[in-house]
Amino acid sequence: MSTPDATTTHYPAAPASERSERHTLSVLVDNEPGVLARVIGLFSGRGYNIESLTVSETEHQKHLSRMTIVTTGTPMVIEQIRHQLERLVPVHRVLDLTVGGPAIDRELAMVKVRGKGDNRVEALRLADAFRARVIDASIESFVFEITGRSDKIDQFVDLMLPLGLVEVSRTGVVAISRGPLGM
């Protein structure tokens, strides 16, 4: 008997890569110990991407938290992520905001910029143009608070870079569907 190709392994080959999509998922979960670990463990264990994840209690009486997860993957992987999340016992509902109709997503960032003279004036001028607020100031620095879509914040941060950007703290994306209905 002859041997198969030397390249043959114990497992089937990886499928040819399909185009990847970015999706925003809203996940309603019981706010109980370990629930975040379950979700994160699911993503790391199955090799899914997390681009952004936010979580906070949203309904105190019912102990419900809402997670907003931004992930990328092929359409098949995105469907898997949704079903795998729904399989977790403390998960109430998963909504794919990217396919479930129009949705709004926002992120908040605090941006610290250090500088004097023209740079300082320019930073303030740009902050105004981006509707960023000054929430802390010293003789040689500002902390701006900016809210918006992630790409807007990216853009603002890029502009601050040559003007003396010190550091940035971002919340990650939160999102909600448009219109009168809840999830």
Partner 1 sequence: MNREMTGAEMVVQAFADNGVAHVFGYPGGAVLPIYDALFQQKNVKHVLVRHEQGAVHAAEGYARSTGKVGAVVVTSGPGATNAVTGLADALMDSIPVVCLTGQVPTHLIGNDAFQECDTVGITRPCTKHNYLVKNIADLSRILHEAFYVAASGRPGPVVVDIPKDIQFATGTYTSPSNAGHKTYKPRVQGDPDKIKAAVELMATAKRPLFYTGGGVINSGPQASRLLRELVRLTKFPITSTLMGLGAYPASDPQWLGMLGMHGTYEANWAMHECDVMINVGARFDDRITGRLDAFAPKSKKIHIDIDPSSINKNVKADIGIIGDCANVLGDMLDAWRASDAKTDTKALTGWMKQIDGWRARNCLAYRNSKDVIKPQYAIERLYALTRDRDVYITTEVGQHQMWAAQFFKFEEPKRWMTSGGLGTMGYGIPAAVGVQMAHPKSLVIDIAGEASVQMTMQEMSTAAQYRLPIKIFILNNQYMGMVRQWQELLHGGRYSESYSEALPDFVKLAEAYHGVGIRCDKPVDLDSAIQEMINIDKPVIFDCLVDPAENCFPMIPSGKAHNEMLLGDVAGDLEKAIDEKGKVLV
On whether the CB atoms of residues 27 and 91 are closer than 8 A, the answer is: yes
For CA atoms 49, 20, 157, 161, the dihedral sign is: positive
Give least dist CB 101 to partner 1, A: 21
Residue 152 burial by Cβ neighbours in a 10 Å radius (0-12, 13-18, 19+)? middle
Which C-beta is closer to partner 1: that of 7 or that of 138? 7
Q: Can you say whether residue 30 is alpha, beta or left, with left for phi > 0 and alpha for psi between -120 and 50 degrees?
A: beta
| Interface mask toward partner 1 for 67-106; x: CB under 8 A | ---------x--xx--xx-xxxxxxx--------------
Which C-beta is closer to partner 1: that of 84 or that of 142? 84
Using the structure block, give the residue that is written with the tokens 């993957």.
73
The one among 18, 20, 22, 41 contacting partner 1 by CB under 8 A: 41
Q: Is residue 16 a contact point for partner 1 (CB under 8 A)?
A: yes
Contacts with partner 1, residue ranges (CB under 8 A): 1-4, 6-13, 15-16, 30, 33-34, 37-38, 41, 45, 76, 79-80, 83-84, 86-92
